[in-house]
Structures are given as structure tokens and as C-alpha cells.
Amino acid sequence: MATLRESFEANYIALQVPADNKKGYKIDYVYYGPWYHWRLTDRERALYKFQMGSALLLCALIYLFTGIQYCTVNYNIFVVVPSMASLAAFLFEILGVIQFLLVKERTTKINFEDVNMKLRAATVFHVCFMGATVLCCIGVMIFTGFSGLSFAVTLGYAVCAALSAYIYIRYRSIEFYTEKNTDVKGILNGVLAGDLEQSKAFEQKLKEMEAREDAEKEAKKKRRRKQLQKVSGMFSDAKFTSADGSGRKKKK
């Protein structure tokens, strides 16, 4: 996986443009990578943002309310450890949802991958750790005794896990597509008009980016072919395996 610096260098280029200062120029970092879009209409985008934002707010309020309750389960080490782990994942989930709420119709590759990672990985970790917290709460109540407050806290943690799972499911249902960055033509014809050296460097960067995109697409196709071949091989093996489970082909 590329580092943030590598991703930045692969999608941005530093250009020297005229400016009204002592040097007579300034350095602008221009994005020339592909634009990423979530396949949503304006109405759908507003609905998804409302649903995910409301679920996040409700989850945060319930988590805060349950976390400050003075009861047996909240002070047991077997509950505290997974609860703290879930909190760490929840913080990343909060950042991801906020970024998604603030994103416009199109976004850069770096921003898309950042949001995508948080709303997929962080939500899964949050649900898993919160589920472990709920199980630990149940275990503590079994061994130390049941109380109404402990049950309410356990139920609150379970609702938090469900809300986080809802955010994950809603985000996973959104398709995305990429669009070629046509803004670069305006840069070549406008800002870099007459600057041969920078124009050539910029065009070279564009060719490198297109080559990387083609390589990534080809790598994805190869992975899909391997997965299909693997699945096909599994079905073939199952087809010719004997009923007694010996793994030998049946004789006619």
C-alpha cells in the first residue's frame, strides 16, 4: 500500500506560476489525478448523509451515556479492555463519517481512499470490539450478579454496535466511479502556456499516471481471474469427489 507521501506525489505536481510578489512567482500544487464520484443523485446523497450522520450522533450519545454509568460491568477489566479498543475504532469511524458528510460531488483519490478505509475498516473493528464488550458484560453479570443498570449498559453497548453496523451497511451499498481529470487541459493551455519546460514535465507526469492506472486495472483483472479459477477448481474437485469422501474419482 502506498504511503501518503507517495500518493501525494503520484497525484499532485508542483507548478511555478506568475505571482505579484518579490520573486515574481509562486508554487502551486495542482491535482491531476482522477476524480472519484459516489454514484448518488443529489437527493440520495442528502438522504445517505442524513441517515449516516443521525446514526453516528445517536451512537455517540448512547456510548457516552452508557460509558459514564457507575455499575459493575463498567469497572470490570474484562469489559474495559474491549471497550477502550472499540472507542479507538469509533474515533476513526467518527472522522470517516464527518469527512463523508463534508465531501462534495467529486473528490480526490487521496480523500476517497481515506474515507473509504475509515468507513469500511474502522466500522468493522468498532462492531467487533463492541460485540466483544457486550459478551464480556453478559459474562460479568453471570458471575457477579444481575442488576438493572448493568443490563441497561449492556443493551446500550449492543445498540451502539448495531448503529455502527448500520453505517457500514449503508456505506457499502454506495457504488463509486472514476472520472478523468479534464481540468489539466486548462492548466496546459492557460497557466503553462508558453512555458515549454513545465509543460513537458506536466505531460510526462500525466503519461506516468495513465500508465499506473492501466497497471492497476490489469492487476485487478488478474486477481479476479485467479479468484474465479480458484472457485472453479473447488467446484471441479467437488464434482469428481466420491460420495464416501475418499477424494478418488468414481469408477464406471
**E-state strands within 100-231:** 106-107, 176-179
Domains and CATH numbers, the chain: 1-33+181-196 (no CATH), 41-178 (1.20.120)
pLDDT at 124 exceeding the cut of 90 = yes
Cβ neighbours of residue 30 closer than 8 Å, sequence gap 6 or more = 12, 13, 14, 15, 184, 187
d(CA 116, CA 111): 8
Weakest mean pLDDT among 59-63, 66-70, 135-139: 66-70
Confidence of residue 85 (pLDDT cuts 50, 70, 90): very high
Three-state DSSP state, 137: helix
Confidence of residue 252 (pLDDT cuts 50, 70, 90): very low
Confidence of residue 101 (pLDDT cuts 50, 70, 90): very high
Question: Are the CB atoms for 131 and 26 separated by under 8 Å?
Answer: no
**How confident is the prediction for the chain on average, in pLDDT?**
81
pLDDT at 80 exceeding the cut of 80 = yes
Q: Output the pLDDT for position 21.
A: 75
pTM: 0.72
Three-state DSSP state, 225: helix
Residue-wise pLDDT for 169-225, tens only, equals: 999 999 988 888 776 666 655 555 555 565 566 666 666 666 766 677 677 777 777
In this prediction, residues 222-233 reach a mean pLDDT of 73
Task: Characterize 155-193 residue by residue with b for buried, 16 or more Cβ atoms within 10 angstroms of its Cβ, and e for exposed.
Answer: ebbbbbbebbbbbbebbeeeeeeeeebeebeebeeebbe
pLDDT at 230 exceeding the cut of 50 = yes
Confidence of residue 30 (pLDDT cuts 50, 70, 90): confident
